[in-house]
Chain A
Amino acid sequence: EAGVAQSPRYKIIEKRQSVAFWCNPISGHATLYWYQQILGQGPKLLIQFQNNGVVDDSQLPKDRFSAERLKGVDSTLKIQPAKLEDSAVYLCASTRQNLGGTEAFFGQGTRLTVV
């Protein structure tokens, strides 16, 4: 089965510009997560979707970050305007169900550099 797909793999933008990342989860996986991983740190949850509804966005900086999952399949994460501290790897993950025992699978990530 195909894994979690993310694009682009790399992106360099200037501060105050906007950027968007795309994620396509494993087929049939209802739950989708976006994580931010700053260099030297573990991934931190930004937002969790169950189908096309938001389960948890408590750590999403809503003044500049937005995310959507319109048809309950693929998802887009947007940053507008970007700041230098947004430089990080953005990881998308999915699980089959929003149940405790399920295993999470991650994509290759998008490395964002803000200059």
Chain B
Amino acid sequence: KQEVTQIPAALSVPEGENLVLNCSFTDSAIYNLQWFRQDPGKGLTSLLLIQSSQREQTSGRLNASLDKSSGRSTLYIAASQPGDSATYLCAVRPVKAGTALIFGKGTTLSVSS
């Protein structure tokens, strides 16, 4: 059974710091991995999608990497801003048992000015 773990559960940093969020998954048989952002009381906004054949994806200040064989992904946020404060969720789309995403519990990020 695929399980997704995100570490740390919460993170507080001062504005301007570079930071890394971690995601691990137990079964490397995945189609892709997706990182989402969730603001309080809101839905999920897709940040980055990495296909299983890719090693990384970049969008602005965000960079996500994927090491499928070791079951790990990282989300790197450069020069953090208070507006980056949110919960970040990692999800994998397993090859087995349909194609629905399986999520971690998320990392809640707080960036102080």
Residues of chain A touching chain B, judged by Cβ–Cβ distance below 8 Å, are 4, 6, 31, 33, 40-45, 48, 55-56, 91, 93, 95, 98-109, 111
Contacts and interface: CB of A to CB of B under 8 A. Distances in A.
Nearest to A45: B100
A108 B43 contact: yes
A101 B44 CA distance: 19
B76 interface: no
A53 to B, nearest CB: 13
Interface residues of B, number: 28
B51 A101 contact: yes
Contacts of A108: 42-43
Interface of B: 4, 31-32, 34, 36, 41-46, 49, 51-52, 89, 91, 93, 95, 97-106
Contacts, number: 67
Contacts of A91: 43-44
B100 A56 contact: yes
A100 B105 contact: no
Given A99-B99, A101-B51, 9 more contacts: A4-B43, A31-B99, A42-B4, A42-B91, A43-B44, A45-B100, A48-B98, A91-B44, A100-B93
A22 B15 CA distance: 39
Contact of B98 (A6, A56, A102): A56
Given A100-B32, A103-B46, A111-B41, A41 B105 contact: yes
Contacts of B104: 42
A102 to B, nearest CB: 8
